[in-house]
Amino acid sequence: MTDSISALKLFVRVVRTGSISKAGREFSLSQPSASRAIAMLEKDVGAPLLMRSTRAVVLTEAGADYLARIEPILAALDEANQAVRGADQLQGELRVALPATFATREVIPKLPAFLDRHPALRINLLMDDARQDLLREGVDVAIRFGTLADSNATARLLCRNQRVMVASPEYLSRAGVPDSPPDLSDHQIIIGPSASMASWSFERDGRAQSIRLEGRVATSSNDGATAAAVAGLGIVGTGLMGCSAELLDGKLIRVLKDWDMGTTEIHAVFPAGRAAKLAAKTFVEHLISFLQSHEQ
C-alpha cells in the first residue's frame, strides 16, 4: 500500500477496529502488509501513532491528535470526490448497520433497483439487532428503531411502524379471540425482543389501558417471535413490518384491531463528527421512497 490516502484510511480503521489484521482484511491486505503500511505512515509523520501489544492496539498521544486532524479531512475529500461525480455516479463502499429482520424483510428486496442505478457502488449490510458503535465499525448510516439516545449524531425519520397483536388461525380457534386487552390474561403470550417485560398499552375512544403479562415463550429475535405465533404458540405484540407477509398469506390474524397500540419510529442515523456520505444520504432517500408507503 503506497497510496498515502489509503494509508490514512487504513490507520483510521486500525484505530476504530482495534486490530491491524482486521483493518487490513477490509483493505484486502495481509497482517504483515498492513503493519508495514502503518510503520511507513509513522515514519513519514515522524512520530509513533500506535502502541502495539499482543492483545491490543492503542493510540499514542500523537496518534490521537493525528486522528482528530485527519478524519475530517478524509471525510471532506470523500464528499468532494462524490459531489463532483454526482449522485448518479456513486462509487466505493457503503456500510449500513441495521436489524436483521428489517434488512431481510424490507431492505434487501428493494436493493436491486438501487444498485441498478449505481453499478459502481458496493453495499455492506451489517445485520445485527444489537446497536453497533458507528465509528468503531466504520458505519456510514445506521437504522434505529425506537427512541434515539441523545447524541451529536444526525438522524432522519424514515417512517413509523404500527404496533399490532397477532396470532395464528389455529391458535385462535383453539383458545378463542380476545375482545379487549384484559382478555389477554387468559391467553398464551409470546414475548419478543421489543416487549421483554410483556407490557403493552392500548387506546380506544380516548380511553387508555395498560396490561402486563407473563409469557410462556420468549425470544430475542423478531423473526423468532413471528415464527412462534405462526406455529400456534400464542399471541404476540410486534411491529406490522415484522409480520406483514404472514398477515397477507393468512398465516397470522390481527386481534384487538379496534385498539390502538401506537407506533415505533424508525430513523436513519449518521455518525457524529463527520459529514454524511452522499451515498448514505442517497440510500436513505431510497429507503424513504418505499418505507413511507407503509404509513399510507
CB-count exposure of residue 223 (10 Å: 0-12, 13-18, 19+): middle
Between 281 and 1, the more confident residue is 281
Asked if 166 and 253 sit in the same domain, the reply is yes
Give the per-residue pLDDT at 87: 58
Q: pLDDT (tens digit, 9 = 90+) per residue, 103-132?
A: 999 999 999 999 999 998 989 999 987 777
- Is residue 154 in a domain? no
Instruction: Provide the pLDDT for residue 1.
Output: 44
Percent of the chain with pLDDT over 90: 56
| Same structural domain, 137 and 280 | yes
**Does residue 39 register a pLDDT over 90?**
yes
Q: Is residue 155 part of a domain?
A: no
**Which structural domain range is residue 254 located in?**
161-264
Q: Is 151 among the domain residues?
A: no
The string of pLDDT tens digits covering residues 75-105 is 778 777 767 766 567 888 899 999 988 999 9
pLDDT of residue 195: 58
Count of domains forming the chain: 3
pLDDT, tens digit (0-9, with 9 covering 90-100), for 52-78: 887 788 899 999 889 888 887 887 787
Residue 24: inside a domain: yes
CA dihedral 252, 257, 291, 289 (to 10 degrees): 130
User: Is 148 domain-assigned?
Assistant: no
254 with 175, same domain: the answer is yes
| pLDDT of 125 | 94
Say yes or no: 129 and 171 in one domain.
no
Q: What local confidence, expressed as pLDDT, does residue 54 receive?
A: 74
More confident residue, 190 or 1: 190
Residue 295: what pLDDT?
A: 56
User: Beta 92-98 vs 57-59: how paired, if at all?
Assistant: unpaired
Above 90 in pLDDT, residue 246? yes
What pLDDT, on the 0 to 100 scale, is given for residue 193?
80
Task: Report strand pairing: 121-127 vs 189-191.
Answer: unpaired
Q: Which is nearest to 254 in space by CA: 237, 271, 277, 276? A: 237
Report the pLDDT averaged over residues 237-248: 94
Amino acid 263: pLDDT: 92
On whether the CB atoms of residues 266 and 158 are closer than 8 A, the answer is yes
pTM of the model: 0.72
Give yes or no for a contact between 39 and 54, defined as CB atoms under 8 angstroms apart: no
Do residues 130 and 122 lie in contact, with contact meaning Cβ atoms separated by under 8 Å?
no
Q: Find the mean pLDDT for residues 169-187.
A: 96
* 137 and 190 share one domain: no
Pair (114, 252) in one structural domain: no
Do 126 and 178 belong to one domain? no
**Is 65 contained in some domain?**
yes
pLDDT beyond 90 at 197: no
pLDDT of the residue at 150: 62
In 3D, which of 268, 41, 126 has the Cα closest to residue 15?
41
The overall average pLDDT reported for the chain is 88
Q: How confident is the model at residue 270 (pLDDT cuts 50, 70, 90)?
A: very high
Find, among 288, 63, 262, the residue nearest to 147 by Cα.
Answer: 262
What average pLDDT does this structure show over 6-15? 91
Residue 72 amino acid letter: P
The CATH number of the domain holding residue 180 is 3.40.190.290
